């Protein structure tokens, strides 16, 4: 017992120090808008548009499975799919167009076939009008924010995007926030190089086929009432949300740490406080 009492308890005092609030430009860049130059509503006419061009005959290609990736790569390299220039042009178009999915500018309708096959775990449409109606409905009910992370070619006539969508359901008094992350597989019509299919796959569920009860339950779970502590924490954006974990991108922040020998009256806490005061004096000299 004497030996146990002789051991000195070591405690650490930690304090999170947030940097000064970022300027509006910093916030925009942190929210991971695409690298392409931001296009305002006044410059809509200058947005890249998709011209109808001749392409090899054939039907639209369904989303490529993992087992067929090598075959797809071979076809793309042998002239059986989009040319490198067309693939890059379509990728650049999506990087510029998709961030306008839910704003006042909207997406460029001319880039889509009249018959667009849209599927996600709980929604389906087979025309461009139904596709655009679904976008308007989400905008009305949920006030969504869409963040595009990546665009790449994944099949002969197929592009895949990775994204995050954050929505607030405005009809409930507590306005719950729903977060979805996933992939959108965009099929391209070989005859006119317009998009003719859009299939969404959510990271948070296993069954992404329409109609998915798992997907519906994932929506309902996020509508429940819950209260989180009103504690200031670093800002972050969820890059991937699964059923078991989240991948987040945090804004820069500082952590101050000091060692102490006891919980109350600890010199470590006083050292941390001194560091914080010094930081405030340097960052906010007018205060």
Residues 130-147 have pLDDT tens digits of 999 999 999 999 999 999
Residue 37 makes CB contacts below 8 A (sequence gap 6+) with 96
Region for residue 265 given its phi and psi (left: phi exceeds 0; alpha: psi -120 to 50; beta: otherwise): left
Q: Is residue 264 part of a domain?
A: no
Q: How confident is the model at residue 7 (pLDDT cuts 50, 70, 90)?
A: very low
Q: Which two tokens stand for residue 92?
A: 């650049």
CATH number of the domain at 22, please: 3.10.450.50
Q: Is residue 283 part of a domain?
A: no
Q: Is residue 244 part of a domain?
A: yes
Domain residues for 88? Answer: 17-32+68-249
Q: What value, to the nearest 5°, has the Cα angle with vertex 105 and ends 90 and 185?
A: 35
Q: What is the mean pLDDT of residues 227-245?
A: 88
pTM over 0.75: no
Question: Whole-angstrom Cα distance, residue 69 to residue 93?
Answer: 24
Tell me the CA end-to-end span of the chain in Å, nearest whole number: 52
Q: DSSP secondary-structure letter at 155?
A: E
How many domains does one find in the chain? 1
What is the structure's pLDDT at 265?
62
Q: What is the mean pLDDT of residues 86-90?
A: 98
Q: Is residue 226 part of a domain?
A: yes
Q: Which of 117, 141, 120 is nearest to 131 (CA)?
A: 117
Question: Whole-angstrom Cα distance, residue 260 to residue 14?
Answer: 10
Q: Is residue 199 part of a domain?
A: yes
Q: Is residue 137 part of a domain?
A: yes
Q: Is residue 10 part of a domain?
A: no
Q: How confident is the model at residue 59 (pLDDT cuts 50, 70, 90)?
A: very low
Q: Residue 6 pLDDT > 50, yes or no? A: no
Q: What is the mean pLDDT of residues 43-57?
A: 44
Q: DSSP secondary-structure letter at 261?
A: S
H helix or E strand, kind and range, residue 134: helix 128-142
Q: How confident is the model at residue 263 (pLDDT cuts 50, 70, 90)?
A: low
Q: Is residue 152 part of a domain?
A: yes
What is the structure's pLDDT at 31?
39
CA 161 and chain centroid, separation? 10
Residue with the bigger pLDDT between 28 and 114: it is 114
């Amino acid at each position: 017992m004497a030996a146990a009492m002789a051991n000195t308890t070591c405690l650490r005092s930690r304090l999170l120090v947030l940097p000064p609030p970022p300027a509006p430009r910093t916030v925009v860049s942190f929210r991971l808008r695409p690298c392409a130059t931001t296009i305002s509503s006044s410059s809509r006419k200058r947005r890249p548009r998709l011209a109808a061009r001749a392409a090899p005959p054939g039907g639209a290609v369904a989303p490529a499975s993992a087992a067929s990736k090598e075959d797809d790569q071979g076809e793309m390299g042998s002239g059986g799919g989009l040319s490198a220039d067309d693939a890059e042009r379509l990728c650049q178009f999506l990087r510029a167009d998709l961030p306008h999915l839910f704003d006042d500018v909207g997406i460029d309708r001319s880039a889509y076939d009249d018959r667009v096959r849209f599927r996600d775990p709980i929604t389906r449409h087979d025309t461009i009008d139904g596709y655009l109606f679904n976008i308007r409905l989400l905008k009305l009910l949920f006030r969504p924010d869409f963040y595009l992370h990546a665009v790449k070619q994944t099949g002969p006539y197929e592009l895949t995007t990775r994204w995050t969508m954050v929505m607030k359901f405005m009809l409930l008094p507590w306005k719950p926030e729903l977060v979805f992350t996933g992939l959108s597989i965009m099929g391209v019509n070989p005859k006119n190089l317009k998009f003719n299919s859009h299939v969404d796959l959510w990271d948070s569920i296993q069954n992404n086929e329409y109609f998915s009860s798992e997907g519906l339950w994932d929506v309902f779970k996020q509508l429940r009432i819950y209260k989180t502590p009103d504690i200031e924490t670093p800002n972050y954006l969820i890059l991937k949300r699964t059923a078991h974990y989240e991948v987040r991108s945090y804004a820069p922040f500082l952590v101050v740490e000091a060692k102490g020998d006891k919980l109350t009256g600890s010199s470590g806490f006083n050292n941390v406080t001194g560091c914080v005061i010094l930081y405030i004096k340097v960052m906010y000299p007018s205060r």
